Amino acid sequence: MNVNVSVLGAQAKRNAIVARTLKWWDRNRRELAWRASPGETPDPYRVWLSEVLLQQTTARAATAYYQEFVEKWPTVEDLAAASHEAVISAFAGLGYYSRARNLHACAKEIARRGGRFPSEEAELRALPGVGAYTAAAIAAIAFGGHAAPVDGNVARILARLLALDEPIAQARSAIAAAARALAPRKRPGDFAQALMDIGATICRPRNPECSACPLSEDCAALRSGAPQAYPRRAAAKARPRRRGAVFLARRTDGAFLARRRPPRGLLASTVELPGTPWTSEGPGGAWLDAAPVAARWLRLPGVVEQVFTHFELTLTVYVALVEGGAPDGCFWVSPDGVGEAGFSNVMRKAVARALRAR
């Protein structure tokens, strides 16, 4: 995309934008669990961990997970020594479970290197699960490197600053160029975090508070009179729908059968209720073939629904009282242990529905 970024002006103007942004940051920075205090040297482990947890997740939702991680595994070596199942369980409910697998693999690699993170973007990108944004964020925030991380908040700010006429997905090269043009050599981590905070609290997707924004006097979208019209929106694509069935087989003591999903693919390594494959056709008349044990299965009214990135899922829930041991591939879970077992969000919904029906 060939975009004129002259709105950023000469170096003196870019310096002024940076100066106003940093002045705003010094007065308004958010206090976040993983953020180093002013004058404190950031811990690369905690910067990396927070950036992984924040992918596709709000700061509010990520905070409790971050605190649990650093309490259980205060160093990267501690995390590397944890079992794969323990890391997946700590991630349960946060979604995008490939992050957990990559997080553990990266921790093992850093531990192999003596617990020291590389400081350069290129070396960081070579680590498992570390992409362009995460590498730039670690380099800038943890090491003070001259890097320009662009997350969703920063992309929205720059799309408005430039009044780009294409959706973000088609304007990434222009946004990256603008980020590089603005990134200062002094306090690059503070500048990056300032933009993240502005995007989260001021330059919001809806109802941006332009009067409070340190970038307002240079914002082309604001000058257009319709800042909320930027970034331009891509045409929404209809998500396909998949259907399936799950089974909660309960003993008289309340424990129920569960199993662990494969280590690769959607919701990898999370715990689930036994059930049918998820297909566009649904289980049809063959639903009973997927039941973990023979029993008098009762279909519960209603369904459990979950929206994934590429499809929408509808699950029918069946319950039954059973006796005997756990079949191959399954294990018993106590109702009191649901929160720590490692269920995904959709399976937590299914379990909750089934347990309410007892």
Cite the active site residues. 51
Q: Which two tokens stand for residue 283?
A: 């289980």
User: Are the C-beta atoms of residues 333 and 255 closer than 8 Å to each other?
Assistant: yes
Q: 184 preceded by cis ω (within 30°)?
A: no
Helices 172-182 and 152-162, axial angle in degrees (round to 10) = 90
Region for 229 from its dihedrals, namely left if φ exceeds 0, alpha if ψ lies in -120 to 50, beta otherwise? alpha
**Whole-Å CA distances, 269 to 89, 91, 172, 265, 340:** 9, 11, 33, 9, 14
User: Are the C-beta atoms of residues 141 and 41 closer than 8 Å to each other?
Assistant: no
- The Cα 209–Cα 202 span in angstroms is 5
Cβ-count burial of 249 within 10 angstroms (0-12 exposed, 13-18 middle, 19+ buried)?
buried
Q: Which two tokens stand for residue 241?
A: 């729908």
User: Are the C-beta atoms of residues 288 and 249 closer than 8 Å to each other?
Assistant: no
How many CA within 13 A on the CB side of residue 300? 22
- The Cα 217–Cα 9 span in angstroms is 13
Cβ-count burial of 204 within 10 angstroms (0-12 exposed, 13-18 middle, 19+ buried)?
middle
User: Are the C-beta atoms of residues 192 and 137 closer than 8 Å to each other?
Assistant: yes
Apex 256 CA angle, 250 and 262, nearest 5: 140
List, in sequence order, every beta strand (DSSP E) within the chain: 241-250, 256-260, 271-272, 298-299, 304-307, 312-321, 331-333
Q: Which two tokens stand for residue 317?
A: 């829930």
